[in-house]
Amino acid sequence: MSVDWTEVLRASASFLLIYLVDYLISNFLMGYPSSTSAGSNFSTSSVTLHHAGTKHGTVSLTAAPHSTSTFLVSKLTERGIRLETPLDKSNVWIGEMRDRSNASSKTLSIRVAVKIVRGGSDVANLRKEYALYTGRLAQLQGKAVPRCYGFYEANGLAVLILEYIRTTPYTELGKDEAEEAHRLMMLGLCSIHEAGLTHGALFSNNRKRPHVLIQCGTNGRPTGIRFISFTKSTDNHRCTSGTPLVLEKHRQKDQCLELMTMESSYDATSREKTVKVRGEGLGLFSSIRLTLRR
């Protein structure tokens, strides 16, 4: 039987390349994890990642204190997954995080969203976002923003682990559901402003609102929202609140621009309906009136 030396050489070269990449990463890319956010009982002792839209197998990450990012990068590299250009043009991965901190208890797992970035400015922005989640936004985790489970940084690479939210697009909601989603959005944004922040980038260029996630119950009615992507957020915001458009449509002086933008963005032109929004513990807007247009 003849030997196909071309295939042998190709296989050997592939093996050596994978070994070399793993060796270089293991020796020259040392990551360190930040502390887990306050109030979180989960440790990142095991994370399984799945990239949305890909057919790659699962990738396990063992979160050792000094080698988390090293192991992550090497495992993704071995499976041919390019962090620089994900297949769905997104840097967010869907994953599963297991808590193994208590060996005597049953292992728990939760779905997480894993945001991975590379490059100086992107890493700095993600570091800023983590600082906000665990700082001014800490009391809003699980309410107006996702729960934050940790941040990892290595040479040119950063990873942020957040609560995974199964979301329903606003455009797919019915009339009553859209009004309820808008009510929750305004209350959530007010609570963020009350914490001293503006979001800074509520809407993308294509106006599909990817920075507000809507949770719905089994009956299709919104039950909660989460604001995400705080890389353009501004600190020390002193909110001037504002008068809802239904009361003073032309007055804009001394109004909070971001609240006005959120309210006026839902203007599907057919008609107006005013609803009353109530929220507990919101010093700025404990009771406000909104204009909803459908």
Residues 93 and 150 in one domain: yes
Could you give the dihedral angle defined by the CA atoms of residues 189, 192, 194 and 199, in that order, rounded to the nearest 10 degrees? -90
Residues 151 and 57 in one domain: yes
Q: Which amino acid is at 80?
A: G
pLDDT digits (tens, 9 = 90+) for 217-272: 989 899 999 999 898 888 877 776 654 444 445 555 567 778 877 777 654 333 34
Mark which of 99, 134, 163 sits at the end of a domain. Answer: 163
Residues 157 and 52 in one domain: yes
> How far apart are alpha carbons 74 and 257 in whole angstroms?
45
For residue 21, being part of any structural domain is answered with: no
For residue 1, being part of any structural domain is answered with: no
For residue 87, being part of any structural domain is answered with: yes
For residue 17, being part of any structural domain is answered with: no
For residue 22, being part of any structural domain is answered with: no
Q: What element of type H or E holds 159? A: strand 157-163
pLDDT digits (tens, 9 = 90+) for 129-158: 999 999 999 999 999 999 998 887 776 778
Residues 174 and 109 in one domain: no
Q: What is the pLDDT at residue 277?
A: 42
**Number of domains comprising the chain:** 2
Note the helical H segments in the chain.
5-28, 68-78, 120-134, 175-194, 257-264
For residue 245, being part of any structural domain is answered with: yes
Mark which of 108, 130, 163 sits at the end of a domain. Answer: 163
Domain coverage including residue 96 = 34-163
Any long-range contacts for 275-284 (C-beta under 8 Å, 24+ apart)?
Answer: 275/179, 275/183, 277/183, 277/186, 277/187, 279/187, 279/190, 279/191, 281/191, 282/187, 282/190, 282/191, 282/194, 283/194, 284/190, 284/193, 284/194, 284/239, 284/241
Q: What residue ranges of the chain have pLDDT lower than 50? A: 14, 17-45, 51-69, 75-89, 243-248, 267-294
Mark which of 163, 180, 205 sits at the end of a domain. Answer: 163
Q: What is the pLDDT at residue 258?
A: 81
Residues 194 and 241 in one domain: yes
Contact predicate 165/146, CB 8 Å? yes
> How far apart are alpha carbons 193 and 239 in whole angstroms?
6
What pTM, to 2 d.p., does this model score? 0.64
Residues 55 and 112 in one domain: yes
> How far apart are alpha carbons 84 and 73 in whole angstroms?
11
> Residue 265: which residues within 8 A CB-CB, separation 6 or more?
202, 203, 207, 209
Residues 196 and 118 in one domain: no
For residue 244, being part of any structural domain is answered with: yes
For residue 127, being part of any structural domain is answered with: yes
Read off the CATH number of the domain in which 59 is found: 3.30.200
Q: What is the pLDDT at residue 63?
A: 35
Note the helical H segments in 93-246.
120-134, 175-194
The 10 Å Cβ neighbour count of residue 177 is 18
Q: What is the pLDDT at residue 41?
A: 45
